[in-house]
Structures are given as structure tokens and as C-alpha cells.
Amino acid sequence: MASLMIISILLPLIGALVLYFGKLKNRNVLNIIAFAISAVVFVLSTTICFTNSLRIELFQIAKDITVLLKADIISKFFAVIISCVFTIISVFSYKYLTIEENEKKFHSFYLLTLTMLMALCYAGNLTTMYLTFELVTLCSMPLVMHSRTQESIKAALKYLYYSLGGAFVGLIGIFFMVYFSTGSDEFVLGGFLDTVKVQDYSSLMQVVIFITLIGFGVKTGVFPFQGWLPTAHPVAPSPASAVLSGIVTKAGVIAIIRIVYFSIGSAFIKDTWVQYAWISIILFTIFMGSSMALIQKNFKKRLAYSTVSQVSYIVLGIAMLNEEALSGSFLHIASHALIKVGLFLVAGAIILYTEKHEVDELEGIGKQLPVTMICYTVLSLGLIGIPPAGAFVSKWYLAIGSIDSGLNVLDYLAPAVLLISAILTAAYLLPIAVRAFIVKDKSVVLEKKQESLYITIPLVVLTILSTCVGLFADQIVEIVKNLV
């Protein structure tokens, strides 16, 4: 059964190479291949969920440096979400990419990104995690610069520099963690640090861990390194924006979970200045992201700043280091992936049908695109945290976990920031939904557009799934038991 992990990684890699170097030109064939491979990877990921923990050593780079794959509960959780979302986006891309050029290259790097994300999910040690983390950046960067405009190239380079710089800082931390390990960098629940070795260097190690968390947090958009998100999203094709916001940001989340709970152990930073400083930065990022989203006029840039805030919800749950908050974090991983991908696909549908990019241009858009904007409204309510959406349950757990964290003033500051952010989220999302269906100028004639099933089906599926996260929250909460 361990071969299923390898197949789920190699299949999209082979597909990407065939598409890029092959002579296929028929866009129907290109899209079918991208969809079929994504769907098969999803089936494989789901199948792996019903197996026991899997482990396979691929090869050694050098002595004590091994490329290792493991399928534990964390791997399975992320692999299913990522492959599911990639499958849904590939359906949407069939229609959307009619307004883009170089479809062949888009699908190639789309599948390459899926390849490296699956490899990151199944990374069994720090070495494999770091290699695949870097490759996620390199493979997804061409999606940002797909249009090849000067603006998109600058945005892609900014994304590259931020991500590589953050990962380099993270690499420094990896060196220290391996040096102070018990002899292996393989992920172990509770961490693999040698407490005797690290005892005399605990102060130094705390500094190292702090900058490591910030380094890998660049991918999540942590302040002050959030700038790549609002720069990259508006210029990338909407399917690429959906991947970057809903999925690629989770690469940083995966790395942080592996470091905190499977490398150093949560006890190493609990109740230290590292935890207090880290949470403080996260809370500021949540507030700043929501505030910046409120003042953006470009629709995709507004959603990008929203991602800065919402992904920090996830990191906050990790940083609180208790079961309730971590449960909220995992619920929000699933909810945010589905909701934010859906919202970016809504933006893509609007661009496809009307060529409108600004929020102020969207008055009456619900009359033209009723299904699209109904999905937008439901997804927005979900992101705000209106029950029974998954984001409501996740924020509930995050608030309870924060109050029970025992971190003095942060016990109450964190729920307050979450509440303020929810209000700001409503302020920057709901007015769009209201203006979409209420037209003040009755003389304006709005022609209803023919909405393609390739657009509406993915949106409806994402809307339904995001609600199901709340309905089946107990099953997701089971994942985090015994992690803390």
C-alpha cells in the first residue's frame, strides 16, 4: 500500500511532463488529462486514509540525510483536501482558460504544483519537508506569471523572493533541530529533540525556533511578510489565485505543524516568550489583513488580504498549543480551503463573463450571474462564521481554546481580535452580495448571462462542501486528539 503514496506523487509529475513536452494541442484533451489525473490522485489519497500509517525510504542524499515518505493522520488530512480542491479547480479551468493563452503550460505547472504539494503532505522528515516546500514555490511561481505581462513577472519574482527567503531562514532552524536531535530528523509526535543536548542552549534554541516559525510563516502571509499575496493574486489567472490562496498557503501551515508538534515538541515553547511573541504577531496579522481587505477596491486584492487574515486564524490555533484551539485550526484549514477557493473562482467567473475587476463595478451582477452570486453569498456567510458553516465551528473552537490557554492577557485579547476580524469580514464581503442583487438605478438594463456548467458546478460543490465541514466537525476534531 505504500506504493499508493508514490503513485499519487509520480502520476501528476508524469502528466505534467507529458503535457509540457508532448505535442498535444487539443484543449479538450489537455483539460481532460489535468482533470483525470487530479481526480485519480484524490481517489488515491482517500484510499490511503483507510490504511494504517505507511512509511517508505526513497533514497539517501548523504549519510543520515534520507528522503522519507510517511502517511500519518496529518498527511492524510492535507492530501485529501488538496487533491479534492485541485480536482474541482480543474473543472472550472476548462471554461475559464478560454480567455487565457498557453493553456498547455498552465496545466503543466498546475500538475507540477499538485505533485510537490502531495510530496510535501507525505514528507516524513525535515529533509523531505524542506526539499518539497521549496519545490512547491518553484513549481507554482509560473502560475503567477502565466500572462507574461511585466506586472505578473514582477509579482512572481516577489513571490519567489519572499518564499525562498522565508524558507532559507527556516533552513537555519532545521540545521539546529537536526544538530540537537536524538539522531534522526524523522517526524515523531512530541518531537525528536534530545533534551540533554539542548538543555544548555535552550535560550539560543528558542530564538532559532522563533525565526524558523516566522520564516516558514512567510508562505502563510504572516506580518510583515504578507506583501506577496496581494501582489500575486490580482495578476494571476483566477484558478491560479485559488490555488495560491486556498492551498499553497497551507504549505506553510504544514511546515509549522511539523515543526511544533513533530520536531521540537509543543512543550519546548509552551509558556515561553516564543509563544507570546508568536501569538502577538499572529493577532496583529489577523487584524491588519481584515482592515486592509476592507479598503481594497480590486476584488481579487480584497480576497488576497482576506487570506492574510484567515490563514492567520489557522496559525493562531496551532500557536495556542491546546486541543480546543488546534481543533479550530484544523476545521479552519478545511473551511478556508473550500471557501476561499470558491470566492476566487467567483472572481474568475465575473472576469470571464463581464471583464469586471473592481468592487464598485459589481452592482447588479447578481441579476446577470444569479447562481454565481448566490454561491458567493453563501460562501461569504460561511467565511464570516454564520452557522452551520465550518468556519463558525472553527472560530468557536479557536475562541474557546484561546480563553483556556492560560496566557494571561492573550486569553481575552485573542477572542476579541477574532470577533473584530469577523465584523470586518462581514463589512468587506456582504456589501458586495447586497449590491449584487439590489440595483438602485432602475433605468439600468442588465442582461442575464448564460452561466456555464463548468463554472457553476465547481462553485455549487465548494459551497456544499464548505457547509458540510461544519456538519461533520466532530470527525475532523478527532484528528487532533492526542496531538497536544
Report if residue 258 sits inside a domain.
no
Mean pLDDT across the chain: 87
Calpha distance 219→216 (Å, rounded): 6
Confidence (pTM): 0.91
Calpha distance 12→31 (Å, rounded): 13
Report if residue 470 sits inside a domain.
yes
> Given a cut of 60, is residue 484 above it in pLDDT?
no
pLDDT in tens, 104-141: 888 999 999 999 999 999 998 999 999 999 999 999 99
Residue 65, SS3 per DSSP:
strand
Which grid coordinates are listed for 280? Answer: 502577538
Calpha distance 174→180 (Å, rounded): 10
The whole-number pLDDT of residue 468 equals 86
> Given a cut of 90, is residue 255 above it in pLDDT?
yes
In Å, how far are 47, 190, 218, 327, 332 from 482, measured between CA atoms? 23, 10, 28, 11, 19
Per-residue H/E/C for 225-282 = CCCHHHHHHHHCCHHHHHHHHHHHHHHHHHHHHHHHHHCCCHHHCCCCHHHHHHHHHH
Among 263, 293, 275, which residue's Cα sits nearest to residue 425? 293
Calpha distance 482→325 (Å, rounded): 13
The whole-number pLDDT of residue 483 equals 64
Tell me the residue range of the domain where 408 lies: 270-484
Among 263, 254, 257, 126, which residue's Cα sits nearest to residue 191? 263
Calpha distance 455→451 (Å, rounded): 7
User: Does residue 139 contact residue 116 with C-beta atoms inside 8 Å?
Assistant: yes
Dihedral sign, Cα of residue 65, residue 70, residue 73, residue 78: positive
DSSP label at residue 322: S
Query: What is the distance, to the nearest Å, from the Cα of residue 244 to the centroid of all Cα atoms in its chain?
Result: 7
The whole-number pLDDT of residue 407 equals 80
- pLDDT band at residue 366, thresholds of 50, 70 and 90? confident
The whole-number pLDDT of residue 196 equals 84
pLDDT in tens, 309-351: 999 999 999 999 888 889 889 998 999 999 999 999 999 888 8
Report if residue 302 sits inside a domain.
yes
Q: What is the mean pLDDT of residues 267-274?
A: 90
pLDDT in tens, 143-172: 998 888 888 899 889 999 999 999 999 999
The Cβ of residue 196 has, within 10 Å, a number of other Cβ atoms equal to: 9
> Given a cut of 80, is residue 406 above it in pLDDT?
no
Helices and strands per DSSP (H, E), number in the chain = 20, 2
Calpha distance 306→50 (Å, rounded): 35
> Given a cut of 70, is residue 216 above it in pLDDT?
yes
Report if residue 275 sits inside a domain.
yes
> Given a cut of 70, is residue 99 above it in pLDDT?
yes
Calpha distance 429→431 (Å, rounded): 6
Among 112, 125, 29, which residue's Cα sits nearest to residue 75? 125
Report if residue 151 sits inside a domain.
no
Report if residue 139 sits inside a domain.
no
Angle ∠(356,358,364) on CA atoms, nearest 5: 65
Helix (H) or strand (E) holding 378: helix 370-384
Calpha distance 286→340 (Å, rounded): 16
Report if residue 337 sits inside a domain.
yes
The whole-number pLDDT of residue 232 equals 87
In Å, how far are 86, 310, 372, 377 from 462, measured between CA atoms? 12, 17, 12, 13
Report if residue 367 sits inside a domain.
yes
Q: How many domains does one find in the chain?
A: 1
The whole-number pLDDT of residue 442 equals 59
User: Does residue 289 contact residue 303 with C-beta atoms inside 8 Å?
Assistant: no
> Given a cut of 80, is residue 101 above it in pLDDT?
no
